[in-house]
Structure 1
């Protein structure tokens, strides 16, 4: 006979169940500790137990914020995102500044070249018609996470 939702919410959580659920998530892709705690926290009511099990996985090197950061940076760069956007998204995922710096230095991206590729893919070789069009293009590039130094020459046509 199955238990009702109310009964199962009061049952103690088995640490093995938390670990199994975390391992299933990690088998699909790398996750940061914060992501795992947030995802598993929705399923398991004991957040302290969830955090403890995630810390155990990190101690066993089955979960690594550094590996997650490197994977995330490579993926986002391949999608045309710049350094500011990467910093923002990594912060939302609980990645430390040092792990982010390590991941960025491992990738060694050429932000100017990437900005040019993103710009040309979106806007082509056609010069902006007017000031409003320049502003639109600048907003797009900023949204993508590039600083004006990376793309300003593309908009101005220098």
Structure 2
């Protein structure tokens, strides 16, 4: 006998919000906000999702600090700067003060990271051409490095209006 898509006997029961979130965390770290959004999109009730997230936090399966540390390690290894990391962490619901603390604790030499990105993209040779230096500076600014760091690394004139305090 052929089963029909709408047949109740062929459909698996929906896992609990806790099981769904635990499965997501088994694949990679997630922020609390990210898990909440995924559970909401999957159709779980707000109170069931909230209880599941609270339980996962109590059991230390979900931790925003651990998530942020992993994200900082990953993105900085990919060559992104602190301003880009700050924006991404903020989009995941972390507070500004906590982000600042985590970035400081990461102990990353942002100038060396910016210089490594320049070497990777443009080679080891510097440029005397002001237009080329400006192009390189824009590349680093797009990757999230502060204007002061970009200026030091590229020796280009960069507007400080794009710089934020770390």
TM range (shorter): 0.7 to 0.9
Q: How many Å apart are 1:58 and its aligned residue? A: 1.2
Query: Higher relative contact order by CA 8 Å / sep ≥ 6: 1 or 2?
Result: 1
CA distance in 1, matches of 2:97, 2:152: 31
For the structure 1 residues 19 and 45, does the alpha-carbon distance in structure 2 shift closer, same or farther, using more than 3 Å as the test? Answer: closer
Q: Please tell me whether the aligned partners of residues 141 and 150 of structure 2 are also in contact (alpha carbons under 8 angstroms).
A: no
The 1-side partners of 2:149 and 2:4 are apart by: 59
Aligned position for 1:103: 102
* Alignment TM-score, normalising by the size of structure 2: 0.78
Indicate the residue corresponding to 1:121 in structure 2: 120
Say if 2:131 is the partner of 1:140. Answer: no
| Distance across 2 between alignment mates of 1:19 and 1:72 | 23
Aligned-CA RMSD value: 2.4
In structure 2, the gaps of 5 or more residues are 157-166
TM norm structure 1: 0.81
Higher deviation after alignment, 62-71 or 127-136: 127-136
Q: Which runs of 4+ in 1 moved over 4 A?
A: 1-4
Q: How does 1:24-103 map onto structure 2 within 5 Å?
A: 24-103=23-102
Take 2:153 and 2:66, find their aligned partners in 1: how far apart are those partners?
Answer: 34
Structure 1 gap ranges (5+): 8-12
Check the 8 A contact 2:127/2:133 in 1, yes or no.
Answer: yes
Deviation by residue 1:14-68 (Cα, 9 ceiling, x = unmatched): 8x61100100111111110011011121112423321332122112221100110
